[in-house]
Amino acid sequence: MSFLPTTRRTRSIRTTLLLWLLPFATLFMLLAWYLHGALLDRMSRDFVRERLQQEVAMIEQQLGSPAGLEALDSNYFGALSHHLFVLRIGEHARLSHPQWSDLLLPWLDLPDQGLIELHGVPEGEPVAHRYMAWRTETQINGQPVTIVAAEDYSQLQASAHELHLWTAAVAIGLLAVLFALILLAVQLSMRPVRQLQQDLKALKQGHLQRLGDAVPQEFSGLIGQLNQLLDTLQHRLQKVREANANLSHRIKTPIAAINQLISSDQPITPEARSQISQRLDDISRQLDSSLHASHSGGPLAGSSCQPLEQARELLWMLGRLHSHIEFELDSSLAESARWPVEEQDFSELLGNLADNAGKWAHSRVRVRLSEQADQRILEVHDDGPGVAPEERSQLGTRGWRLDQQMPGHGLGLAIVRDLAARYQGAVQFEASPLGGLLVRVEIPTQA
């Protein structure tokens, strides 16, 4: 049974772009083609209506002349032969196409006025035609007049339909060009991603030390963060290698001395046992020093700690160690607050400061945790004898000790300085309101 975490495969950026752009481009072209058809039909209807209105107005003008119905002779209808006309003045009717009387005469008795749509089969035609007609009823010279002017809309519609089909062919061609342009744009936009993939492969194989920064603006922040992480890891690796080399060099001599004493045929005397113990103490100190040095390569990206929880545990433990000292915790942080500091680093930072304060304090040590707009602050107060201002600048110097009688190797405050520097922080030494020393560690918020 495998307990390895499974990763869910997601679509590539290229596939996602194509799945979004191509359907939307198709939908856009279909919508444009549909709107073209609707607008074409609307324009055709408006054009026919306006022309029919004008010609009905001309007929009314002719009927209002002294000649009246006689003014509308065959020559007049011949000039307007592209339209169908039927009119009635009183009991007299006139048709533009007398042979289509069965089609035209019923239009005079329709109830609707204005633009109407009619259907009928002209004489000699096999199928019905669609007509757009303008019908009006009025009074001319005291007589009721009904006028119907119609146009065979089927022919105009067939021409419009042919134009619409040509538009569809052009739209399909444009859509194919648009698809090609989208594919080309996606390919070009993915070029930096492919280059980044190649750079990462070259980085893994050792051909590159850093990623190239000649990337689009959207990738510049990512590349910068990756290069910063690579620099941090490289620096840490270098420090670890140096520390290991130094450790190997330092413990060779003590190990050789111990090996010589143990491998000797002579019995181990108290003096030899003392020497072995001394050599082992030397090795232990070297290991401790190397452990601290291995942390100087920089914090681990993405790590964080809960300062309140760790501070309570550390102060409880130090309270058992320094039973005569009262350790206080003063904090303005929320219980769930997290600092981007490795847990081991924070424990070592606070542990060294609080333990050092416990050695010098008379009865009280106060630890204060707080945050400001641009920094995180750790303060450790004690009520001990304090440190003279002229000596505070020496605090934190590796191997320098204020009192040679106090146990330790002078590394505690030096380690605190190193740890603070890892997070671009600073350590300050001041006089405490409790009467002793105040050590303040300030770590920038963006560290």
**Tokens 């309570």 map to which residue?**
312
For a pLDDT cut of 70, what percent of the chain falls above it? 78
Q: What is the pTM of this model?
A: 0.40
Give the per-residue SS3 of 56-71. Answer: HHHHHHHHCCCCHHHH
How much is the pLDDT for 369? 94
The string of pLDDT tens digits covering residues 136-146 is: 888 887 788 88
Q: Which two tokens stand for residue 424?
A: 């671009």
- What is d(CA 209, CA 230) in angstroms, rounded to the nearest whole number? 8
pLDDT exceeds cutoff 70 at 429: yes
The string of pLDDT tens digits covering residues 240-292 is: 776 676 566 556 656 765 776 677 666 777 776 776 776 677 677 667 656 65
Confidence of residue 17 (pLDDT cuts 50, 70, 90): confident
Domain ranges for the chain, please list them. 10-189, 218-297, 307-444
The alpha-helical segments, DSSP class H, found in 64-109 are 74-79, 101-104
The string of pLDDT tens digits covering residues 359-370 is: 889 999 999 999
Q: Tell me, which fold does domain 307-444 have in CATH?
A: Heat Shock Protein 90 (3.30.565)
Mean pLDDT of 192-207: 76
- Please state the length of the chain: 447
Task: Please determine, looking at this structure, whether the domain spanning 10-189 carries the CATH number 3.30.450.
Answer: yes
